[in-house]
Amino acid sequence: MQFSEVILCKYGEIVLKGANRQTFESSLVKELRRRAVPYGQFKISNRQSTIYIEPLSDLADIGGMYEAAKKVFGIVGVCRAVVCEKNIDSIIETAKVYLKDKLVGVKTFKVDAKRSDKKFPLKSPQISEIIGGVILETVRGIKVDVKNPEAKITVEVRDEHAYIRASQEPGAGGLPLRSAGRGLLLLSGGIDSPVAGCMMAKRGLEIEAVHFESFPYTSERAKEKVMTLAQEMCEFCSKIHVHVISLTHIQEQIRDNCKEDYFTVLLRIFMIRLAERCASSYKCGALITGESLGQVASQTLEAIRVTDSVTDIPVFRPCIGLDKNEIVKLARYFGTFDTSILPYEDCCTVFTPRHPKTHPKLEDVMRELSKLDVDSLMDEAYSGMYTETKVIFEGYR
C-alpha cells in the first residue's frame, strides 16, 4: 500500500491575532518556503490553523524539511502524517498498515479524533473507538491508556482529506520572523548574547548584529568565534548581518585619561551609542543585549540606568531575569553553547579594571566621559565599520 506523507505544522498564538492574523500566517508560509529550498519541491499552504507541507516529487527530502520546520518561529507543533480518502473504510485500511510499524515496541496508546468537517457521518468519539479497535487488533501486546499513553494517535478529518499521525514534536513557538520589525543585537563571544538574539527573534524580530573588536588586543580567532555564533544562530534566525566595529582606540583613550574603576561603564556607553548609530543606519527599532541583572559589574541596576540614559531607543534584555543555568539551557537548545565556551577573549576583557565601579552615579560617569573627545572617537570608530553576512544556507533570500 503506497502512502502519501505530508508535514503538518500547527501554530499557536497567531490564532489570537484577529484582523492581523492573515499577515502573520503569510509571514510564516513565506519563511517555510524559503527554508524548503535545499530539500526539494514542496507545496506549502495553510488552512484551518494548520500549515500543510506536501512533497511534489519522490526526490523531495521530507525528513530534512521536517527537521527544518521545527526551527521556524511561529510553529508550536510539527508532525508527519499520512493522507487518505475521507471515508471510514479508507481511514481504517490506512491506519492498519501505516501505524503498524510506527507502534513497534510501544506498550500503551490513545486515539484522538478531530472532525473539522462536521458533515462527516461519524463523530469524533466514534472515530477514536473504531481506530483504537483497529490498533488493538493489529499491534501485538499494546494496550489503551487514555491518561498517560506512550503514543498518541491522531485522526483528523478535514475539508478535503483525512490525516493520520502517530506523534507530534514541539516546534520553536513564538511569532514568525520579520513580523515584529528589526532589532540590533550586541553580539559578543559569550553565552548570553546569542541566546538574547534568538529569544527576540522568537518574538518576531529580524536580527541584525553589531560586534565590537579590539584588535590587536583581541585575536582573529576571537572574531571568527563570533562569526561562527552568528552562523549557528541562523538555524533559527535564518539570516544575520554582522557589523564589526573596532573599539581599540576608544579603549586606549579611556585607559589613558579616565579613572580605572570607570573603565567598564564608560566602554559600555560607547558600545550603546555606536550601536544606536548602527541601528539608525539599518532601520532597527531596538537594541538587544544579553545582560542578566547582577551577573557582572556592568549589569547592576545603577550601571544599567547609566547606559540606558545615553540612548533614545528601547534596549531589550530578554535574559535580564534568568540565572546562568537557565541561559545555558537555552544556549544548548539554540545550538550556540559549545562555541560560546571556546576560550577566546573579547573586547570586554581588555583593560579590565581591578575594582570596577558597580554602583556608578550618572553625574560621576559623565564627568569622566567629559575627559574624552567623544564625538571624534565615535566618528572614527563608526567610519571603520564593515559587515559580514551569515545565512542558514547559500541562496537564502
Using one digit for the tens of pLDDT, what is the confidence trace for 376-397? 999 999 999 999 999 999 988 8
Q: Walk me through the domains of the chain, giving residue ranges and CATH numbers.
A: 4-170 (3.30.2130.30), 182-391 (3.40.50.620)
* Among candidate residues 12, 98, 32, the one with its CA nearest the CA of residue 397: 32
Average pLDDT over residues 8-17: 89
How high is the pLDDT of residue 387?
Answer: 97
* Among candidate residues 190, 229, 196, the one with its CA nearest the CA of residue 344: 190
**pLDDT over 70 at 152, yes or no:** yes
**pLDDT over 80 at 353, yes or no:** no
How high is the pLDDT of residue 41?
Answer: 95
For residues 174 and 203, is the Cβ–Cβ distance under 8 A? yes
Considering the chain, what is the average pLDDT of its residues?
93
Average pLDDT over residues 158-187: 93
Confidence of residue 375 (pLDDT cuts 50, 70, 90): very high
Give me the percent of the chain exceeding a pLDDT of 90.
Answer: 81
28 burial (CB, 10 Å; 0-12 / 13-18 / 19+) is buried
Give the integer Cα–Cα distance in Å for 168 and 64: 16
pLDDT tens-digit readout, 39-82: 999 999 998 788 999 999 989 999 999 999 999 999 999 999 99
How high is the pLDDT of residue 117?
Answer: 87
How high is the pLDDT of residue 295?
Answer: 83
Helices 324-334 and 220-237, axial angle in degrees (round to 10): 70
**pLDDT over 60 at 324, yes or no:** yes
Give me the percent of the chain exceeding a pLDDT of 70.
Answer: 98
**pLDDT over 70 at 350, yes or no:** no
**pLDDT over 60 at 213, yes or no:** yes
319: its cell numbers: 535574559
Confidence of residue 356 (pLDDT cuts 50, 70, 90): confident
Q: Answer with the residue of higher pLDDT: 130 or 351.
A: 130
Q: pTM for the complete prediction? A: 0.91
How high is the pLDDT of residue 395?
Answer: 86
Confidence of residue 219 (pLDDT cuts 50, 70, 90): confident
How high is the pLDDT of residue 355?
Answer: 82
Confidence of residue 253 (pLDDT cuts 50, 70, 90): very high
Question: In the 3-class helix/strand/coil scheme, how is the chain assigned residue by residue?
Answer: CCCEEEEEEEECHHHHCHHHHHHHHHHHHHHHHHHHHHHCCEEEEEECCEEEEEECCCCCCHHHHHHHHCCCCCEEEEEEEEEECCCHHHHHHHHHHHHHHHCCCCCEEEEEEEECCCCCCCCHHHHHHHHHHHHHHHCCCCEECCCCCCEEEEEEECCCCEEEECCCEECCCCECCCCCCEEEEECCCCCHHHHHHHHHHHECCEEEEEEEECCCCCCHHHHHHHHHHHHHHHHHHCEEEEEEEECHHHHHHHHHHCCHHHHHHHHHHHHHHHHHHHHHHCCCCEEECCCCCCCCHHHCHHHHHHHHCCCCCCEECCCCCCCHHHHHHHHHHHCCHHHHCCCCCCHHHCCCCCCCCCCCCHHHHHHHHCCCCHHHHHHHHHHCCEEEEEECCCCCC
**pLDDT over 60 at 1, yes or no:** no
For residues 214 and 53, is the Cβ–Cβ distance under 8 A? no
Give the integer Cα–Cα distance in Å for 279 and 137: 63
Could you count the other beta carbons within 10 Å of the beta carbon of residue 23? 13
Confidence of residue 19 (pLDDT cuts 50, 70, 90): confident
**pLDDT over 70 at 88, yes or no:** yes
How high is the pLDDT of residue 297?
Answer: 74
How high is the pLDDT of residue 347?
Answer: 64
